[in-house]
Structure 1
Amino acid sequence: MSGGVDSAVAAARAAAAGYDVTGVHLALSRNPQTYRSGARGCCTLEDARDARRAADVIGIPFYVWDMAERFHEDVVDDFVAEYAAGRTPNPCLRCNEKIKFAAVLDRALALGFDAVVTGHHARLGADGLLRRSVDLGKDQSYVLAVLTREQLDHSIFPLGDSTKADVRAEAARRDLAVADKPDSHDICFIADGDTRGFLHGKLGATPGDIVDATTGEVVGTHEGAYAYTVGQRRGLDLRRPAADGRPRYVLSITPVTNTVTVGPAEALEVDRVYGERPVWTGGSVPAADVECEVQLRAHGAPVPATVRVEDGRLVASLHRPARGIAAGQAVVAYRPDPAGDVVLGSATIATTERAGAAGSPASGGTH
């Protein structure tokens, strides 16, 4: 129970369905006052109090589990290390993988519980397959696609058949004080929302060059390549405008040379994505090419693709080019289904390329 409306209603529904429910709030910060406050996060002291009050209203036992050290090692340290390596991680995805459905689930099973219930907007069908929520605007199946078949077998997502408006209305009917609490935004462990400043505090200043991909000229400098991500346009502070006057975007980040490469928007286009460490949420590794859709960022639109397994990697050949695809994000494959799109599997994006464009900034390399 994070202290938000979704997890409160999920707990209430589980209790109303007759389950023996215990509420658990995760203390994830070594110093809770350094995490987001003002009812905007999921790790604050206010959130813990809100979760406890919701549990009291529902009438279930409530505990706080201290997982600050595990969270710092598996999520915060990983976040910093990924940016230092020129990648753009998704900490919510990592938290689901390492904390909520690994550390928490393992402890719950050891204590004799059968499953972990969360307020994620996603569905588990009668066949046990993970599907998108009916509320596509709130769908969170993308950040759950790292879960294994065994983890899903011990998971319950009661909200997948409801819209967010339905959830808030139900919370009000149940007299849950969090009915109108704002959703959490941004990254919970960055108190002021300044990701660049947070990374600077962890990694320090590492000045380097910003290079134009077309001319090879140095067109600016930076204080740390970790402050940039593929597809970024704002905040580049380039000294020399492009010859054609068009805006330039970050095309790639090369930690070895501490270089940020920029160029025109069309140079961002890729049509092949390679993912490492695939997890086949559907339960089996595809034996042949699969026609499906892939989602390449948390709130990105699905792209038709052909997915196959090659040397243990997930390879997605996009049917139309996509722009601004960053290494470190997830590629999630979905199979269209009349009952709702089914998650086939996911992988961490390692490299991308444009077919027939070998040697371009978007070919191979770290983005």
Structure 2
Amino acid sequence: MTDSTVPPGRLRVLAAMSGGVDSAVAAARATEAGHEVTGVHLALSANPKSFRTGARGCCTIEDSRDARRAADVLGIPFYVWDMAERFREDVVEDFVAEYEAGRTPNPCLRCNEKIKFAALLDKALALGFDAVCTGHYATVVTGEDGARELHRASDMAKDQSYVLGVLDERQLAHAMFPLGDTLTTKEEIRAEAEQRGLAVAKKPDSHDICFIADGDTQGFLARRLGVAEGDILDEDGNRVGGHEGAYGFTVGQRKGLRIGHPAADGKPRYVLDISPVENTVTVGPREALDVVGLTAISPRWCGTPPQGPGTYTAQLRAHGGETTVTAELVAERLEVDFTEPVRGVAPGQAIVLYDGTRVVGSATIARTRRPERVGG
């Protein structure tokens, strides 16, 4: 196999520039590689704020200006494309609906699937561009048969292949990740940006959810969904507290439960289940979070779908570790068994399968299976 993070030959490349240091350096490297690069900033907020709130969020007027200044330094054309309505429908509304249904979504995956490598890529191809370049840390490799594969970044500490696991073979054929194949620290990326004269070299990274700049997800959902008081129950169905909206909880949560009295054993309790129909939240001991298997829906494959059962490693969170699983595609549903129990797995999250460093594909967790509890 050959590394094709930056494909050979001069290409017309559309560089998605968020206004941050990673996308600026990615655009710089694509330009330096000899490609004909055009920068574009996606305006994803209908009412963008002028400035970021600390190191949170993105998509502000300040970010747009930072991206434009970086493009000016690189000497490449630059445009701002308004995709606020598409982003609202495909990412924000989906995020709210998933929480309302008692699930825990990952908006970054949805944005990559629906916006950066669907809406943006389709428009880029229609305008005659060959590839879309982003500052993600991942690697695209071309096999001997010419098929392109998505692999983890060379530096596992910065790897972002999990949030790219929704990309299909067609999208990978037009994806470029110039940062993925270099063993450079973030400090070295910033040093490179400074050496190139990019003012974003010292700009803080964005964190959390870009459209919730203050980081208060529960407050954001409350404003959208309103107050819906309900009960917090223990595993036996006894009321141990109350809440103002089941949507404000996620499986595995420990803090902010506001339970009136401690458990009989004095140990902390965690969210085990969320029922939007009954508007209840069930809590219990940490060991009750153990999951031995799951069913996932809406699979997306980074190449040919796997045939028959297989053994893989799986990642369940953007910043989580790997766990060994056996998985099989059965009637368009992914049936997964863990070799060792894992904890805090929530419906709505994505499971991404790997074969070594290669991303096999991803699917959305629909339900989990817990072990039989002795005496339960």
TM-score normalized with structure 2 length: 0.91
Q: How far 1:39 sits from its partner (Å)?
A: 5.4
Answer yes or no: is the 8 Å Cα contact 2:31–2:37 preserved in 1. yes
Q: Deviations over 1:219-272 (max 9, x none)?
A: 000000000000000000111211111111000000110010000001000010
Q: How far 1:41 sits from its partner (Å)?
A: 2.7
Residue from 321, 344, 362 that aligns with 1:346: 362
Answer yes or no: is the 8 Å Cα contact 1:97–1:147 preserved in 2. yes
SS at match of 1:350: strand
Match of 1:5 in 2: 21
Q: How far 1:150 sits from its partner (Å)?
A: 0.3
Match of 1:180 in 2: 202
Which ranges in structure 2 are unaligned for 5 or more consecutive residues? Answer: 1-16
Match of 2:267 in 1: 246
Q: Could you say if the C-alpha distance between residues 335 and 71 of structure 1 is closer, same or farther in structure 2, counting changes exceeding 3 Å?
A: same
Match of 1:231 in 2: 252
The yes-or-no answer on 1:102 pairing with 2:122 is no
Residue from 192, 196, 211 that aligns with 2:214: 192
Q: How far 1:168 sits from its partner (Å)?
A: 1.6
**How far, CA to CA, are the matches of 1:44 and 1:34 in structure 2?**
6
Q: How far 1:38 sits from its partner (Å)?
A: 4.2
Task: Identify which range, 200-209 or 160-169, moves more after superposition.
Answer: 160-169
The yes-or-no answer on 1:70 pairing with 2:86 is yes
Residue from 227, 247, 261 that aligns with 1:205: 227
Q: Could you say if the C-alpha distance between residues 266 and 342 of structure 1 is closer, same or farther in structure 2, counting changes exceeding 3 Å?
A: same
The yes-or-no answer on 1:310 pairing with 2:330 is yes
The aligned runs of 1:140-155 (5 Å cut-off) are 140-155=160-175
**How far, CA to CA, are the matches of 1:24 and 1:6 in structure 2?**
14
Task: Identify which range, 55-64 or 233-242, moves more after superposition.
Answer: 233-242
Answer yes or no: is the 8 Å Cα contact 2:25–2:189 preserved in 1. yes
Answer yes or no: is the 8 Å Cα contact 1:122–1:160 preserved in 2. yes
Which ranges in structure 1 are unaligned for 5 or more consecutive residues? Answer: 361-367
The yes-or-no answer on 1:287 pairing with 2:287 is no
SS at match of 1:81: helix
Q: Could you say if the C-alpha distance between residues 136 and 93 of structure 1 is closer, same or farther in structure 2, counting changes exceeding 3 Å?
A: same
Q: How far 1:357 sits from its partner (Å)?
A: 5.8
AA matched with 1:349: I
Q: Could you say if the C-alpha distance between residues 276 and 143 of structure 1 is closer, same or farther in structure 2, counting changes exceeding 3 Å?
A: same
**How far, CA to CA, are the matches of 1:261 and 1:130 in structure 2?**
39
Answer yes or no: is the 8 Å Cα contact 1:10–1:158 preserved in 2. yes
Q: How far 1:286 sits from its partner (Å)?
A: 1.3
SS at match of 1:125: strand
Identity level (%): 65
**How far, CA to CA, are the matches of 1:118 and 1:326 in structure 2?**
29
**How far, CA to CA, are the matches of 1:184 and 1:315 in structure 2?**
35
**How far, CA to CA, are the matches of 1:125 and 1:287 in structure 2?**
22
SS at match of 2:18: coil
SS at match of 2:35: coil
The aligned runs of 1:318-333 (5 Å cut-off) are 318-333=338-353
**How far, CA to CA, are the matches of 2:111 and 2:196 in structure 1?**
29
Match of 2:10 in 1: none
Match of 1:267 in 2: 288
Q: Deviations over 1:329-354 (max 9, x none)?
A: 10000111xxxx11001001111112
TM-score normalized with structure 1 length: 0.94
AA matched with 2:112: N
SS at match of 2:37: coil
Q: How far 1:324 sits from its partner (Å)?
A: 0.4
**How far, CA to CA, are the matches of 1:248 and 1:176 in structure 2?**
48
Q: How far 1:314 sits from its partner (Å)?
A: 1.3
Q: How far 1:274 sits from its partner (Å)?
A: 1.2
Aligned Cα root-mean-square deviation (Å): 1.6
**How far, CA to CA, are the matches of 1:142 and 1:60 in structure 2?**
30
SS at match of 1:315: strand
SS at match of 1:21: strand
Q: How far 1:36 sits from its partner (Å)?
A: 4.3
Residue from 176, 180, 199 that aligns with 1:160: 180
